[in-house]
Amino acid sequence: MSKKVKVRFAPSPTGDLHVGNIRTALFDWAYARHTGGTFLFRIEDTDTTRVTDEYINAAIDTLKWLGLDWDEGPEVGGENGPYLQSKRLDIYSHWAAKFIEQKDAYFCYCSPEELEAVREQQRAANEAPGYNGHCRDLTPEQIAAFKAQGRAGVVRMRMPDGGTTFNDLIRGEMAFDHKFVPDFVLVRADGSPLYTLAVAVDDILMKVTHVLRGEDLLSSTPRQIRVYQAMGVALEDYPVFAHLPFVMGADNAKLSKRNGEVSIAWYRDKGFLPEAICNYLALLGWSPGDDRENVTMKELCELFTVEKVNSSPARFDMKKLEAINGDKIRALTIDEFLTWALPFLTKAKVITGTADEIALVKRALPIIQERIVMFSEIPAMLNFLFVKEFAIEAESLPKVTDSGAKDVLKRSLKELEPLDDWSHAAIEAALRSSLIEEMGLKPRIAFGAVRIATTGSTISPPLFESMELLGKEASLSRISAALAL
């Protein structure tokens, strides 16, 4: 009988979660949901110098924001907790002591300088640099002498000769020669555990069956398997590994701040929808076997299998993500759109949030829904409706002050003043017949001047709808003011 699947996402939040972390989390979650298994969320915060409470809370918040729910982990608890490694330190100490007792591990007293000197020699001799086993078989007298010198030892795992092989679900058969996997540190001199110890102990104790994670951790796998052996875990209880290929930037370099925004917080601030990010990341390196560009979270859960993950690196394409975000924005109802838009408008201080302002925003949203790819574009687009001291942007000024523009504005004023019906259709009809048909102007020239005069910018929502929303009085007074410039 096959075991119930348990997948874990185990970030070390040393900053905001980034695109690569989130793709891993998404695949972990989708695999758990697809198989009817358990999704476990664990925070790997043993490196207390780099992981802060703020980052931990942000990681939890980001997962929630994206719609990824977990069955075991922070906030929800579970029978294998605690789920913060900093709260499990005695567990790691217990296992390290046991490994020493079993002679699987030993104290190493080499100083950082001595270790560096060894590496230097190895490099000079063209050997792979790594720990040389210096303290493997110290006598009790040698240990006493090191202690007498005031040296605090680290705990090192003894790597036996030979190698480690395992079957990676994405990469196939993997083999590591232990010549290149030297004895490694489990516990620092101050008693704190290292990642390799904590991750391996937790995956076993928390009964994780599948480790889907980024390929940067591939080389740590033989060390983790060594910990399982020392724990006495039966082979059939080892988790199965699947290492996801890197997410590369557009320039084919590993995704980093330099070649694309990587922090999920950045996307949130820019106004990307969580479902757009999930949709895009899900199809980055995985496909259900067709060339679809859209996938819902429900479909992802139904269709996700590890076998369909591509083993070559995926390329992050911002334009594609923007296009997907634009599609998802267009699919929102006006009320949903309003809920998303309001925080962007208040944060940018375009509105304070009064009922009148909200009502006007709601009327304005349909005319920009087709035009934006992210919510952060909204404040600049709707500012003209709310601004107290209206001014035309400097670079557009020449386009309303030349004599041609003045003629356009004068005529517009004359045509618009008598209009009783201030609907966009009536405004358009009046301006088209006068400016285009009678004056013979090109629409771009004619409407461009009116647009700048009324909205202050060359970039704004559709002109006639904008003027309708702005109202007759404000529209005419802005045109008059532009004429006076």
Residues that bind ligand GLU (CB under 6 A): 10-12, 44, 199, 213, 217
Nearer to ligand GLU, 108 or 212 (CB): 212
Neighbours of 319 (CB within 10 A): 9
Residue 5 contacts residue 31 (beta carbons within 8 Å): yes
> What is the rounded CA–CA span in Å between residue 246 and residue 253?
10
371, 380, 389: which is closest to 350 by C-alpha?
380
Tell me, what amino acid is at 323? A
Tell me, what amino acid is at 38? T
Minimum Å gap between C-beta 288 and ligand GLU is: 24
The tokens of 12 are what? Answer: 């070390």
How would you class 354 by CB atoms within 10 Å of its CB: exposed for 0-12, middle for 13-18, buried for 19 or more?
exposed
> What is the rounded CA–CA span in Å between residue 31 and residue 200?
21
Nearer to ligand GLU, 199 or 255 (CB): 199
The tokens of 333 are what? Answer: 């109802």
76, 41, 34: which is closest to 297 by C-alpha?
34
Q: Residues 318-325: contacts with CB within 8 Å, 24+ apart? A: 318/250, 318/260, 318/261, 320/280, 320/293, 321/272, 321/276, 321/277, 321/280, 322/373, 322/374, 323/373, 324/276, 324/279, 324/280, 324/293, 324/294, 325/272, 325/273, 325/276, 325/373, 325/374
Nearer to ligand GLU, 11 or 245 (CB): 11
Minimum Å gap between C-beta 206 and ligand GLU is: 12
277, 290, 213, 282: which is closest to 245 by C-alpha?
213
Residues 6+ apart with CB under 8 A from 216: 246
Minimum Å gap between C-beta 46 and ligand GLU is: 9
Is 257 marked active-site?
A: yes
Catalytic residue among 4, 87, 257, 349: 257
Cα torsion for 51, 56, 57, 63, to the nearest 10°? 140
Tokens 């050997």 belong to residue? 127
> φ and ψ at 177, to 5 degrees?
-80, 130
Nearer to ligand GLU, 30 or 382 (CB): 30
Nearer to ligand GLU, 14 or 477 (CB): 14
Start-to-end Cα distance in the chain: 83
The tokens of 65 are what? Answer: 């924001």
372, 377, 381: which is closest to 458 by C-alpha?
381
Neighbours of 383 (CB within 10 A): 19
350, 291, 346, 361: which is closest to 320 by C-alpha?
291
Minimum Å gap between C-beta 361 and ligand GLU is: 40
Minimum Å gap between C-beta 448 and ligand GLU is: 52
Minimum Å gap between C-beta 198 and ligand GLU is: 9
Minimum Å gap between C-beta 84 and ligand GLU is: 12
Q: Alpha carbon of 323 to those of 237, 284, 288: distances in Å?
A: 44, 14, 20
Minimum Å gap between C-beta 203 and ligand GLU is: 8
Minimum Å gap between C-beta 228 and ligand GLU is: 13
Task: List residues with catalytic annotation.
Answer: 257
